[in-house]
Structure 1
Amino acid sequence: MHDEEVASPNQTPSEHSTSTSTSTCSKYESRDFSGSVFLISSDGRLLKLPIPTRSSRDPLNWSTMKRARAFIAIFFFSIMGLVLVQGPSLMFAPLSEEFSDEDTRPFSLILLLSAPTLFMGFGAFLWIPLSLAIGRRPVFLLCTVIMLLATVFAGTAGSFYQLLISVCFQGLAEGVNTSMALLIVIDLTFIHQRPQAIAMLWCVVGFVSGCIFSFVPQMVNAGTSWRTFYLIWIVPSALSVALVFFLVPETYFIRPAVAFDGRILVQSATEKVEIYQRWEEVPGGKTLPEIPHRSSWIRDLQFWGTTRGGWGAMWTCYPQILGCFVNPLIFWVALLNAVVFGSMLSIGETYAFVLSGPPYFINVHYTALVNLAGAIGSLVAWPVSGKMIAWVSRRLAMSNAGVRDAEHYLPAFILPIVAGITSIVIYGLAAQHKWHFMFIYISYGLNSFTFTSLATANTLWITEAFPRWAAPALVVLGGVSYMASFGISFSIKPWVASQGIAGANIEIGLMIAVVGFVLIPIAFWGKRLRQHIHERWGTSAMGALRPQ
């Protein structure tokens, strides 16, 4: 087994133990095995990788406040988009009063709940490849504008079809938050910061949106119709456009070769650092370093441009997506995510009917408070999926001579899988046998914990195990999962009618167990398979974490 090793620029040349072009003696043979990074030095210090440049355009060189402002804009738009997309699920009663079966033909009102997820999947297939061509900032701004216009159109919709078109465009815009926004978070963070940053994104968004969902019925009842909900959110939608425009500069940055202490440092697309003695030894010839320049707010506000890869990078991404789809170590994550999403749909589509029926007869205002349980579940997932996996992966890396393998993130899947099985089984039994209503709330909270912590684990695994394919892998994860959920949403009610609510949900729990506990060991022991996949098909770096 061979692992790659990188050195911190804070070390002296004598402290470098990486292979160079003029020396073949090293602690580890220098091979470009993506997903294996020498992250912890011999004295236990975490190395800050990738190595920032001196350029003010390098997001890793931004001040803490500048990065924090970018995170605030991302979080705000993610929260707002999730609330808008899931809003119709809590307004089903007023929507059904206005739109009869005749008004919705040949569709049904349930399409307002499922169509946005389909377009979220489409969004992943569109926004990530497009960001490789024109950059992250223009794509993000475009999505905020689409969300604003769709919200205005939804608030003034005069027919079911107008509302349907609106929520579809909202889903398309929301797709950026579950796909390309994750690449922005990766752009803004060092390797050792990513578990916490990604966990914070999923958990905070889940917590705040869950709290807001609890009050959606009050928003609707405060006005004359369901349109009030959309009209209220026009102002936050407009604010998100301004926040992204002013607070999120372009984060897509290619790090050039740099000279340090008589050595040439070249960072590869997999975030590996190669050390050379002379510029002439650098592959492709001498590369001019990035020329430092003063930070300019005018440059930060530029909203259109192209990346070095250009439109060719976008079109190259689609064959990579196909390659990721047939990659077993990526496809199983998308499959697990789809099954867990199916458990969310099973609870989400039925809990209101269960709580409003006998023996509970709970008012819709209190039924919506189940989202507070979901918010708590999302918040609890933060320390578990962020802090814990960061600690576990660090310990495993230290026991592995400082080399952090992508497989060190696999323990992050254990708790989500156990919680997912527990939540869906408890829900099915509680709904079938009329247990105390608190079991419904507990199962909902556990299910939210499952989704949030699993989203963090999924993102870390596919981006760190296959950094060359980070962008197309996120397309497969987000696109396939959300598009599959569209089909699953139509099967929940027939499934429950056929097997009973307990039987259907227990079967979903068994599916989560099979997909999770069978395939995680395969992935853990499949490091050589991962390396073989990289050696044979991983030559293109257009969709990499650090595109070259």
Structure 2
Amino acid sequence: MADASSASFVLPRPQSGDLSGSVYLIAANGSMLNLPMPSTSPRDPLNWSFDKRVRAFVSMIFFTVVALAEVEGPSLMLAGLSQEYASEETRPFHLDLLLSAPTLFKGIGAFVWIPLSLAVGRRPVFLLCTIILLFATVLAIVSGNLYVRLVSVCLQGLSVGISSSTMLLMAIDLTFIHQRPQAIAIFMSLGPFPALLVLSVVPRITNGVLNWRTFYLMFMIPCITAVVLAFLFYPETYFLRPAVAFDGRVLVQSATEKVKVYEDWEKVPGGKTLPDMPATSKWSATIKELKIWGKTESGWEAMWACYPQILLCMVNPLVFWVALLHAIVFGSLMSIGETYYTTLSGAPYFLPNNTIALVNLGAAFGVLLAWPTAGLMISMISRHLAINNRGIRDAEHFLPAFVVPIISGIASVTLYGLTVENKWHPAWVYIAYTLNGLSVSSLAVANTLWITEAFPRWAAPALAVLGGWSYIASFGTSYAIFPWIKSQGYARMNIEIALMIFVVGGMIVPVAFWGKSVRQYIHGRLGMNEAGALRPQ
């Protein structure tokens, strides 16, 4: 529970702190407030020990590493897959679908897992995804034809969809407001980073990309480990934070993380909440946390209410803007990711598979850079802006986080297009992929911070739109890449993508000036349903 000093600074906050998307975060003495205030309930994740929260976070990252490595692995084993399925009848499907189908199902996963987590909680959804990944891995090993193999990669994509959607809400569940930029940046960096390192050595693991089943056999133990870690170390984090009695008053924290003060319990909506019954022993407390299936306070009503909110978020200009930018930057990733193997294996480079795979080392380094640029940097910038704003942190204070991904995204596709077109040294391809890794990961952090802070009442549906839209759009883009190259050429196509990033990314300028008034207008016009809120109430 917050101490008296923290609470006393929350009560007299300036009026602008009442605006949705604006939080009174820094006290008059410059100290950071621990908001939201933890309750005394043992089920409150903000009341857990630091070690317990770290273990939950590590279980999420471990699953992400395993799932991403499995989903992206076939892109480096295409030669072996082509030989195995060369004599088979695969109509109406094509072998390339093994690479693009997981992207589609990642997007579908975002629209499935986030609403479901509002009904049954985060823990059952997390456990379900780990089990699906394990089943898909076994299915890939025993698959005897392309159709079964295709089902396995679709299930893998569906399971990893939780990493770019629901797990962002899970990270928010585990952290205070001022910790979120760092937590999300760490998750977005430490998840893809080891996965990309694994991909850089895939050809060596699979014996020249021919024995691709070895790859999945080696992932059996990590998949089983992911299930065990999720079961043992990730308790339920979806928590309804109750009203708190303090200094003769009652403090109620809203879904937008504001604190309302009531003189007595009779005036509190819903009345006085009953305290959690303490566990009779440590063993019984542990057994209770390990329960697999549950139901949230909002229940299935929250899940069905989430889908209309998703539709509203799709037409919300401040959400649609970042979703469109996310989709274009993912398109730049597809532009490089689908063509670098053909480029480096052909004239004039003729690089071996082992060397080509090392391009993922560059991407891994770029992803790792997203931690300091999108986490450390934006934490310092937003704190400085909040201090200058009388301690109030507005959602617009996170807009500087878009600068790095926009610049690095433009630079990556421009450099890659010119390199391929003009046959420059292959090192520039690796550098371009490094910049692209930085752009994709840092943009994911910036987007998450912006939409969850600007629209805290609709954080869940907004993240579903962001994750679902970008991956589904990328799936469609994957079929346009090669016809686009044939029509425009490498340089012109990638420069056109760079121009789209520049134009759409340039929207941060009007958003910085008028975003606050626009989002407050949207909050006033749309419904007040808070089932998918940042802090569900």
Q: Choose from 481, 489, 494 the match for 2:478.
A: 489
> Cα deviations across residues 45-99 of structure 1 (Å, max 9, x unaligned)?
0000000011111000111111111111100000101011111111111111112
Unaligned runs of 5+ residues in structure 2 are none
Mapping of residues 362-401 of structure 1, within 5 Å: 362-401=351-390
Alignment correspondent of 1:321: 310
Change (3 A) 1:503 1:312: same
- Indicate conservation of the 8 Å contact 1:80/1:237, yes or no: yes
* Alignment of structure 1 residues 272-351 onto 2, 5 Å: 272-290=258-276, 296-351=285-340
Aligned equivalent of 2:235: 249
Q: Does 2:44 correspond to 1:11?
A: no
Distance (Å, rounded) in 1 between the aligned partners of 2:271 and 2:513:
39
| Partner SS for 1:274 | strand
2:426 match: 437
Residue number among 527, 530, 533 corresponding to 1:544 in the alignment: 533
Instruction: Work out which of the residue numbers 226, 241, 244 in structure 1 matches 2:212.
Output: 226
Identity level (%)? 58
- The aligned runs of 1:22-33 (5 Å cut-off) are 27-28=14-15, 31=18, 33=19
Partner of 2:191: 205
Tell me whether 1:457 sits opposite 2:446 in the alignment: yes
Q: Residue 342 of structure 1 aligns to which amino acid in structure 2? A: G
2:451 is matched by which residue type in structure 1? I
Distance 1:328 1:37 in 2: 22
Mapped to 1, the partners of 2:6 and 2:328 lie a distance apart of 50
1:522 aligned residue: 511
Look up the SS of the partner of 2:207 in the other structure. helix
Is the contact made by 2:408 and 2:436 (CA closer than 8 Å) also made in structure 1?
yes
Q: Secondary structure at the match of 1:11?
A: helix
Shift of 1:357: 1.3
Report what 2:29 is aligned to: 43
Superposed CA RMSD in Å reads 1.7
| Correspondence for 2:80 among 91, 94, 97 | 94
Secondary structure at 1:103 match in 2: coil
Distance in 2 (CA, whole Å) between partners of 1:146 and 1:260 is: 45
Aligned amino acid, residue 405 of structure 1:
D
Deviations 1:181-233 (A, max 9, x none): 11110000000000000000011112111111101111111796211111111
Aligned partner of 2:434: which letter?
G
Shift of 1:40: 0.2
- Once residues 350 and 208 of structure 2 are traced to their aligned partners in structure 1, the CA distance between those partners, rounded to angstroms, is 23
Counterpart of 1:23 in structure 2 is none
Q: 1:95 and 1:389, CA in 2 relative to 1: closer, same or farther beyond 3 A?
A: same
Structure 1 pair 102/17, CA: closer, same or farther in 2 (3 Å)?
closer
Matched, 1:155 2:138: no
Aligned match of 1:134? 120
**Kept after mapping to 1: 8 A contact 2:6/2:34:** no
Distance 1:378 1:16 in 2: 38
Determine helix, strand or coil for the equivalent of 2:271: coil
When residues 332 and 241 of structure 1 are mapped into structure 2, their CA distance, relative to the original with a 3 A threshold, is same
Residue type at the aligned position of 1:347: I
Paired with 1:284 and 1:309, the residues of 2 have a C-alpha distance of 14
For the residue of structure 2 that corresponds to 1:37, the secondary structure is strand
Residues 421-480 of structure 1 show CA distances to partners (whole Å, capped at 9, x for unaligned) of 001000000011011111000000000000010010011111111111010001000001
Alignment deviations for residues 393-432 of structure 1 (CA, whole Å, 9 cap, x no partner)? 0000000000000000000001100000001000000011
- The secondary structure found in structure 2 opposite 1:56 is coil
Contact persistence 2:78–2:209 (CA under 8 A): no
Give distance in 2, aligned partners of 1:162 and 1:360.
Answer: 36
Counterpart of 2:107? 121
Give the corresponding residue for 1:22. none
Q: What is the letter of the counterpart of residue 109 of structure 1? A: L
Q: 1:112 aligns with which of 98, 121, 130?
A: 98
Aligned partner of residue 525 in structure 1, secondary structure? helix
**Cα distance, 1:100 vs structure 2:** 2.5
Matched with 1:360 is 349
Partner secondary structure for residue 265 of structure 1: strand
User: Partner letter of residue 530 of structure 2?
Assistant: A
Q: Which secondary structure state, in structure 2, belongs to the residue aligned with residue 264 of structure 1? A: strand
- Distance in 2 separating the partners of 1:507 and 1:223: 34
TM, length-normalised to structure 1: 0.95
The equivalent residue for 1:193 is 179
CA distance in 2, matches of 1:61, 1:177: 24
Partners of 1:246 and 1:8 in 2: how far apart?
28
Q: Aligned letter for 2:405? A: P
Q: Any idea what SS the aligned residue of 2:261 has?
A: strand
CA distance 1:521–1:187, change in 2 (3 Å): same
Q: Deviations over 1:98-148 (max 9, x none)?
A: 123853222211111110010111111111100000000001000100000
Using the TM superposition, give the Cα deviation of residue 285 of structure 1 relative to its aligned residue in structure 2, in angstroms.
3.4
Q: Give the aligned residue type for 1:297.
A: T
Secondary structure of the 1:266 match is strand
Matches of 1:29 and 1:120, distance apart in 2: 39
Deviates more, 1:503-512 or 1:290-299: 290-299
Say whether the 8 Å CA contact 1:135–1:252 is kept in structure 2: yes
Distance across 1 between alignment mates of 2:210 and 2:73: 16
Q: Which residue of 2 aligns with 1:237?
A: 223
Shift of 1:9: 4.2
Q: Which amino acid aligns with 1:18?
A: L
The letter of the residue matching 2:68 is: L
- Equivalent of residue 501 in structure 1, options 483, 487, 490: 490
CA contact (8 A) 2:123 2:234 kept: yes
**Quick one: distance in 1 between partners of 2:217 and 2:342?**
27
- Call closer, same or farther: CA 1:158–1:285 in 2, change over 3 Å: same
Aligned equivalent of 1:71: 57
User: Which of residues 163, 185, 188 is equivalent to 1:177?
Assistant: 163
Structure 1 residue runs of 5 or longer lacking an equivalent are 1-6, 20-25
Q: Is contact 2:22-2:394 (8 Å) kept?
A: yes
Shift of 1:287: 3.5
Which residue is equivalent to 2:524?
535
CA distance in 1, matches of 2:191, 2:235: 21
Aligned to 1:475: 464
Secondary structure at the aligned position of 1:375 is classed as: helix
Larger CA deviation: 125-134 vs 280-289? 280-289
